[in-house]
């Protein structure tokens, strides 16, 4: 495929995305270097494999074994499964949400319900697949009736997301929603003001953005998350 065809293909993908959101005009200027998904992004991420991958996969398995049948906080009482996280151990990009919902609890996989579809679509629009990124939550067990995780629960589960982050050592983390952003940035500023800028968690740049469940209720804010995603792609390419 020549570069012109590739650019047209990338532009079409970006425009389809905005069309899905109900935009008749593009809210931002797009170009191949401006964050529109490119096949270059895909191949760059795919290049990250080899010696580290096996070690990281082993370390993640060991951590999962260590969590075992965890009873460190009250969320253990109502869960069906611990949702450890999934994706590439060698991922350059990691998504961190707040906690599993009903479907995630049943399947023991993160972001597989309706909000998961929104996240999967965002990942795909970024030119990546779920298998190329890593997805986890700050609490690994479902809060009852999908309530917000409590401070003590995030504190009890905190060492696990810390260790996952250290093992994977991604180039960028995207914190999805208020609670993940609060845990990872330490800031209590509302997510609407926190998003759009990089912070740091364990030496890794963190971009807070809206939670996919919020975007389902407020689809007009999807373009803000898309702007955040563009910044993330630029940072990964550095
Ligand atoms: S949420 Fe985390 S700390 Fe609490 S029981 Fe589940 S795995 Fe353990």
Residue 205, phi then psi, degrees to nearest 5: -65, 135
Q: Specify the residue with its C-alpha closest to ligand 1, atom 2.
A: 157
Distance (Å, whole) CA 121 – CA 117: 6
Residue in 75, 93, 90 with CA at minimum distance from that of residue 229: 93
Mutation pick for ligand 1 pocket among 63, 69, 76 (CB with most ligand atoms within 8 Å): 76
Token pair in block for residue 52: 């580290």
pLDDT value of residue 157: 98
Residue 147, phi then psi, degrees to nearest 5: -70, 170
Residue in 149, 137, 159, 151 with CA at minimum distance from that of residue 82: 137
pLDDT value of residue 14: 59
Residue 151, phi then psi, degrees to nearest 5: -55, -45
pLDDT value of residue 1: 58
What are the angstrom distances between the C-alpha of 181 and each of 8, 136, 148, 200?
35, 13, 13, 11
Cβ contacts of 192-197, under 8 Å, gap ≥ 24: 195/224, 195/225, 195/228, 196/224, 196/227, 196/228, 196/231
> What residue ranges of the chain have pLDDT lower than 50?
22-25, 27-51
pLDDT value of residue 8: 66
Can you list the domains of the chain with their CATH numbers? 3-237 (3.40.470.10)
Q: Could you tell me the distance, in angstroms and rounded to a whole number, from the CA of residue 68 to the centre of ligand 1?
A: 10
pLDDT value of residue 103: 97
pLDDT in tens, 106-131: 999 999 999 999 999 999 999 999 99
Mutation pick for ligand 1 pocket among 110, 156, 161 (CB with most ligand atoms within 8 Å): 156
Token pair in block for residue 234: 């630029």
pLDDT in tens, 213-236: 999 999 999 999 999 999 999 999
C-alpha torsion 104→108→109→111, nearest 10: 10
Residue 75, ligand 1, Cβ within 6 A: yes
H-type helices in 48-98, by residue range? 51-67
What are the angstrom distances between the C-alpha of 235 and each of 5, 64, 94, 173, 183?
25, 30, 13, 11, 22
- Give me the helix-helix angle, 114-125 and 3-20, nearest 10°: 150
Strands 199-201, 204-209: pairing kind: antiparallel
Distance (Å, whole) CA 184 – CA 194: 12
pLDDT value of residue 147: 96
């Amino acid at each position: 495929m020549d570069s012109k065809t590739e650019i047209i293909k990338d532009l079409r993908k970006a425009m389809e995305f905005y069309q899905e959101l109900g935009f008749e005009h593009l809210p931002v200027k797009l170009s191949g270097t401006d964050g529109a998904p490119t096949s270059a992004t895909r191949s760059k991420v795919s290049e990250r494999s080899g010696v580290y991958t096996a070690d990281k996969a082993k370390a993640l398995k060991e951590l999962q074994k260590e969590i075992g049948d965890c009873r460190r906080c009250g969320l253990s009482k109502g869960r069906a499964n611990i949702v450890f996280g999934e994706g590439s151990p060698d991922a350059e990009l990691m998504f961190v949400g707040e906690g599993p919902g009903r479907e995630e609890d049943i399947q023991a996989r993160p972001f597989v319900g309706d909000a998961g579809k929104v996240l999967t679509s965002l990942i795909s629009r970024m030119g990546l697949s779920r298998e190329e990124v890593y997805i986890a939550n700050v609490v690994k067990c479902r809060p009852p009736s999908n309530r917000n995780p409590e401070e003590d629960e995030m504190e009890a589960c905190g060492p696990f997301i810390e260790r996952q982050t250290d093992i994977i050592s991604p180039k960028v983390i995207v914190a999805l929603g208020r609670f993940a952003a609060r845990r990872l940035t330490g800031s209590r500023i509302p997510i609407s003001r926190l998003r759009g800028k990089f912070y740091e968690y364990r030496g890794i740049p963190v971009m807070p953005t809206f939670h996919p469940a919020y975007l389902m209720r407020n689809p007009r804010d999807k373009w803000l998350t898309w702007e955040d995603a563009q910044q993330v792609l630029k940072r990964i390419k550095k």
